[in-house]
Structure 1
Amino acid sequence: MTENTDIHRLLDEAFRGVEMTPDAQDLKEEVRTSLIARTAELEADGRTPADAARTAVAELGDVRELLDEGTDAAPSAGLSGYAALQQKHRVRPKPGFVVRVVVWSAVAVIGITLGILSAVGVLPIIIWGQVALFGFASTAIGLLVGDSLSQETTTNHPMPSGRAGAYALATFLGAYGIGFGALVAFGTMPVWGIVFAALGVITSIILFAFLGATQTNRHKAWTRRALADEPANRFEREPETAARFGIYSAAIWIVTFCVIAVLVFTVGWWWAPVAFAAGFALMMLVLARMLFAPDKKS
């Protein structure tokens, strides 16, 4: 992809009239890097290069305010300074988004509750009705995640709708896979249902790993400066490590579901939760090992 030249022109216009001190020049280059990444996201979401550049610069706000924040020592003084910055840049949730969150949360809770009650025999709902209930709940959870990521927040720019939709899909697949696994565990679905559970969970892990490894910075400029002294997440510093963790997790869950299938066919389904817990514990150990291992450069 060719570089969006509109960024440099609009950035020069934004800094017009600003005395280019060393601090101002450093800020300009930092902002330039952020704008290049942001416009790339917007272009990937279908915006034209010119529109993407204008949107990214508009999200930036007044550069004079950024310069004032950069020369203010308060943000690094402690929690009160950061809290003050949060209050200054606070973005209130849109009313429509709040309504959608309430609706989708209610659908998810109702779907899961009715699905579990029917699975344990309290409600007389047939198996495909139970599958539909978990499907509604999983859809609501996925929409909740995707919509939340596509909103602008106090600290983050909104995620492009395409990428937010991918996160929603990954969430849906994972939640639905867990729902199928629950139905098999409760004994209301035949053992072959574990295949759908495995496909959902493993595909979700792979998709989450890909999205995490290719995620670009969404933090606003003031947040990055305020948190500059905070230790970075290793997965953010080393995307290849995040990708490896996704591959390892997928392999762990493939083996786990194979073991569950063998246990169900041999000694009974009540051993399935043990294998599931063992797989989850192993994944967490791998996560801890990869996330907190010494850096490559050390």
Structure 2
Amino acid sequence: MNTDIHRLLDEAFAGVEMTPDAQDLKEEVRANLVSRTAELEASGRTPSDAARIAVAELGDVRELLGEIPDAAPRAPAGDYAAQLQRHHVRPRVGFVVRAVVWSLAAVVGIALGVLGATGVLPVVVGPVIGFFGMAATALGLLVGDSLHQETSTNHPMPENRAGGFAGATFLAAYGLFFGFLVAVGALPIWCIVFAALGVIAAIVLFAFLGASQTNRHKAWVRQARAHEPVNRFEREPETAARFGIYSAVIWLVTFAVIAVLIFTVGWWWAPLAFAGGFAVMMLVLARMLFATEKQDRTAR
């Protein structure tokens, strides 16, 4: 690894009070510098030159932390649109190309899967599952890669956490696709178990990732929103965790009801049960996200 990066980064942060937010930012910057120096070295730069160029491109770290010198031009604190324009980050070409490719793969996979499942495309169920698997994989990659990109308002999400969101998206999509195949009769009724396991696992993983998420907002965004109400899930991680548990229970019961309905009165009642489960989850979300602490304690 290029050791010059760490020395130059320490020099860039010299004199900066290392608060938890500053330390998090420093580690994110370090990861970006490692990637950038690797690109520069691959283009023929020496390790020391690559490190100096990458750090120079970084600019003044005080701007990233919101400690902009008085002499530096900046937009009025209350003008959010002007601040957004000033800190605009253009998406990288490689990401745009990958997003287009994965979006096309998802559309093609879903289209071929639906045509095969409904009998329009004369294929057996194996390739149909493969088509939906391709679509679910493409959707997961699209979500994970999107979260891993830097935006105008957020620092890039760490690779492992973005991969977790990608996996959760894959599980949710594949579970829903299995449910569709059962609903149209392409798979036996007992395969609804796979759909339920996929969706429930995705909900649990999404809930865990959401409850453990740290603040990714850039300093200027935090300053611009300093006077806005705080999201309750960010203020109370335990509330977010409880919502994840409630959601898992709601969907577990919903899929159990769907299975009972399919075996008793017919699969055409399954969408109604699914809609009911979704409505209950939205009501719980609204209740937990927007209720005051006093109301919540009263309800419990």
Shorter-chain TM-score: which interval?
0.7 to 0.9
From 95, 117, 125, the equivalent of 2:123 is: 125
Measured after TM superposition, the shift of residue 67 of structure 1 is 2.4
Amino acid at match of 1:63: R
Q: CA deviation at 1:133?
A: 0.8
Q: Which runs of 5+ in 1 are unaligned?
A: 1-5, 16-27, 48-54
- In the other structure, the counterpart of 1:24 is none
Determine the C-alpha separation between the residues in 1 that align with 2:183 and 2:60.
Answer: 53
- The aligned residue for residue 279 of structure 1 is 277
Q: In the superposition, relative to structure 1, how do residues 243 and 11 fare at CA in structure 2: closer, same or farther (>3 Å)?
A: farther
**What pairs up with 1:71-220 in 2 under 5 angstroms?**
74-76=76-78, 81-220=79-218
Work out whether residues 75 and 82 of structure 2, in 8 Å CA contact, stay in contact via their aligned partners in 1. Answer: no
Q: Deviations over 1:31-84 (max 9, x none)?
A: 72312334577999xx9xxxxxxx99x9684426732489967121xxxx2111
Cα gap change, 1:129/1:12 in structure 2, threshold over 3 Å: closer, same or farther? Answer: closer
For the aligned residues, what is the CA RMSD? 3.2
Q: Deviations over 1:180-219 (max 9, x none)?
A: 0111111111111111101100000000111111111111
Q: List runs of 5+ in structure 2 lacking aligned partners.
A: 1-6, 35-53
The equivalent residue for 1:33 is 20
- C-alpha separation in 2, matches of 1:63 and 1:191: 60
Within 1, Cα distance between the matches of 2:181 and 2:61? 54
**What is the aligned partner in structure 2 of residue 293 from structure 1?**
291
- Give TM-score scaled by structure 1 length: 0.81
> Contact 1:66–1:222 at 8 Å: present in 2 too?
no
**C-alpha distance in structure 2 between counterparts of 1:71 and 1:297, whole Å:** 46
Question: Contact (CA 8 Å) 1:118, 1:124: kept in 2 or not?
Answer: yes
Deviation (angstroms), 1:138: 0.4
Q: Is the 8 A contact 2:178 2:194 kept in 1?
A: yes
Q: How many residues align?
A: 269
67-76 vs 96-105, which moves further: 67-76
Letter in 2 for 1:205: I
Shifted more, 194-203 versus 65-74: the winner is 65-74
What's the counterpart of residue 63 of structure 1? Answer: 62
Q: Tell me the residue number matched to 1:20.
A: none
Alignment CA distance shift 1:251-1:163 (3 Å): same
Q: Is the 8 A contact 2:204 2:248 kept in 1?
A: yes
In the aligned structure 2, how far is the partner of 1:63 from the partner of 1:151? 22
TM (normalized to structure 2)?
A: 0.80
C-alpha distance in 2, partners of 1:91/1:42?
15
CA distance in structure 2 between the partners assigned to 1:228 and 1:59 by the alignment:
26
- Give the letter aligned to residue 120 of structure 1: T
**Percent identity of the aligned residues?**
60
Distance, in Å, in 2 between the alignment partners of 1:160 and 1:296 is 36
Alpha carbons of 1:188 and 1:282: their partners in 2 closer, same or farther (altered >3 Å)?
Answer: same
Task: Give the direction of change, closer, same or farther, for the CA distance of 1:104–1:12 in structure 2 (3 Å limit).
Answer: closer
Alignment match, 1:255:
253
When residues 224 and 248 of structure 1 are mapped into structure 2, their CA distance, relative to the original with a 3 A threshold, is same
Residue 11 of structure 1: how far off its partner (Å):
7.1
Name the amino acid aligned to 2:119. Answer: G
Pair 1:60–1:240, CA change in 2 (3 A): farther
Secondary structure of residue in 1 paired with 2:293? coil
User: What CA distance in whole angstroms lies between the structure 2 residues aligned with 1:154 and 1:181?
Assistant: 38
